[in-house]
Structure 1
Amino acid sequence: MTKASLGKVLLTVTAVYAGAGPFVFDWNRTHIHNPDWPPHAKFHNAQTMSLGAALSAAALTAIWGNGRWNRNRLTVAATAASLYWGTQLTASAYPGVAMADPPAKTSRQGPQTYVAAAALAVNGVAAILEHRRIHP
């Protein structure tokens, strides 16, 4: 196992949240078990949950796996830890998309927007910290 540092811990937090968050917030009656959702909508929800878990696993393997911690592993870790959040931000730009289903108030921005933006900012800070630590 590699040595812990602030940058690695920050990347770990956002990666774990990207992997677990979709299951925490979508494995319920408002999403995957929603009887009003057509099967294809559930397919895309399931795909998103699985994608978050896969990206999380890739990031955590790059951060904590065996081998020397270097610029290449940092790049893989930061990219994998950021892709879920970046795609979440871009999703609101597609036509007909809302951040919540009725009867909740629908809007093109919701708490997910702020969580994703914060996670990307944290990952940016973590990558800078780690880059400086690896290459002083």
Structure 2
Amino acid sequence: MTASHSSAGRYILTSVALFTAIAPFVADFNTTHIYNPSWPAHAKFHNGQTMSMGVFLGLSTLYYTWRTPATPDTLFTATMLATAYYITLLSSWFYPGAKPGPEDSPDDFSQLWPSLGIFALSAGAHVLERKRIRGMKTE
């Protein structure tokens, strides 16, 4: 097996993992969310849970992305972990009274486009990495 451990697929999943771990803090660790004086303590509790979940999923994605030996199962796990935050983010639209953007904005799709981008990147990374893993088995 002479195939490189590095690949475009792994680097893309790594980028998704880092984004997932950092972006919730960039978006929520401010006066509109965690420091919002009008938010009740329980809402802040769940906001903290969400930010911590991003870190956990990002680190877990990194672990399975770079775990050796690379297998289709570890790749599938990495891809599922990479997209889990965004699947749950999009499902939030369906809860009563939930709104993805500021209260004063019309229908806001600002959460939709990054989530779809993450899905596309993760799917592309999965395909690239799957090809690399298959290539390792034939050498």
| TM-score, with length taken from structure 2 | 0.88
- Residue 123 of structure 2 corresponds to which residue in structure 1? 124
CA 1:33–1:106: 2 relative to 1, 3 Å: farther
RMSD: 1.5
Secondary structure at the counterpart of residue 5 of structure 2: coil
- State the shift of 1:25 in Å: 1.0
- Residue 85 of structure 1 corresponds to which residue in structure 2? 86
Which protein has greater RCO, CA pairs closer than 8 Å, 6+ apart?
Answer: 2
Unaligned runs of 5+ in 1: none
Q: Deviations over 1:50-81 (max 9, x none)?
A: 1111000100011124x211112111111111
Contact conserved, 1:99 with 1:106, CA < 8 A, in 2? Answer: no
> Which of residues 34, 37, 40 in structure 1 aligns to 2:36?
34
Determine whether 1:105 maps to 2:105.
yes
Q: Find the structure with the greater CA-based Rg.
A: 2
| TM-score, with length taken from structure 1 | 0.90
State the distance in 2 between where 1:112 and 1:7 align: 24
Amino acid at match of 1:115: P
**What stretches of structure 1 move > 6 A for 4+ residues in a row?**
none
Percent identity, aligned pairs only? Answer: 36
State the distance in 2 between where 1:8 and 1:19 align: 16
